[in-house]
């Protein structure tokens, strides 16, 4: 048999003319130890620390997962920035066949078409320059002959 120490208080009362006593239990060992834990705050402190550690762990895990998931997108953005500043040979990495891989393949196809269009424009510009040089030379020779003949006549 275990003994439990309690503090109690009793007061005489009358209910409906009948005498009686009102007993109030002010505390016991269980209540005092629990109250002591709350008064010291150790249980609350431990729970706060545990909660803080849990939130920090979840936050760190979330950041690592976010970093790993967005790594391929960052590489693709870097390739696009390089292409934007004139590095037309820049291509996005395409490994898996998921949506990000499809986006990288579409960018690479577009970059190839842009690069070939620029090459065609350069060739067309070179041909235009050669044509203008040839036409101006061909027109200059007869004009010089006419001008020379006209100055000799005058």
How does pLDDT run across 35-80, given as a tens digit for each residue? Answer: 666 666 676 778 889 999 999 999 999 999 999 889 988 999 999 9
The more confident residue out of 71 and 34 is 71
Task: Flag whether pLDDT at 1 surpasses 60.
Answer: no
pLDDT tens per residue across span 7-29:
667 888 888 888 888 877 766 66
Q: Average per-residue pLDDT in the chain?
A: 83
**Can you give the chain as a three-state secondary structure string?**
CCCCCEEEEEEEEEECCEEEEEEEEEEEHHHHHHHHHHHHCHHHHHHHHHHHHHHHHHHHHHHHHHHHHHHHHHHHHHHHHHHHCCCCCCCCCCCCCCHHHHHHHHHHHHHHHHHHHHHHHHHHHHHHHHHHHHHHHHHHHHHHHHHHHHHHHC
State residue 22's pLDDT score.
Answer: 82
């Amino acid at each position: 048999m275990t003994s439990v120490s309690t503090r109690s208080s009793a007061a005489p009362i009358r209910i409906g003319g009948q005498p009686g006593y009102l007993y109030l239990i002010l505390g016991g060992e269980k209540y005092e130890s629990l109250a002591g834990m709350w008064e010291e705050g150790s249980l609350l402190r431990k729970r706060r620390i545990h909660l803080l550690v849990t939130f920090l762990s979840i936050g760190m895990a979330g950041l690592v997962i976010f970093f790993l998931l967005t790594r391929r997108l960052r590489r693709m953005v870097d390739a696009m920035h390089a292409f934007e500043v004139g590095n037309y040979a820049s291509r996005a990495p395409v490994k898996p066949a998921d949506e990000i891989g499809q986006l990288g393949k579409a960018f690479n196809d577009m970059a190839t078409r842009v690069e070939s269009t620029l090459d065609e424009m350069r060739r067309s510009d070179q041909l235009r320059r050669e044509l203008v040089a040839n036409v101006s030379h061909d027109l200059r020779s007869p004009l010089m002959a006419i001008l020379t003949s006209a100055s000799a006549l005058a």
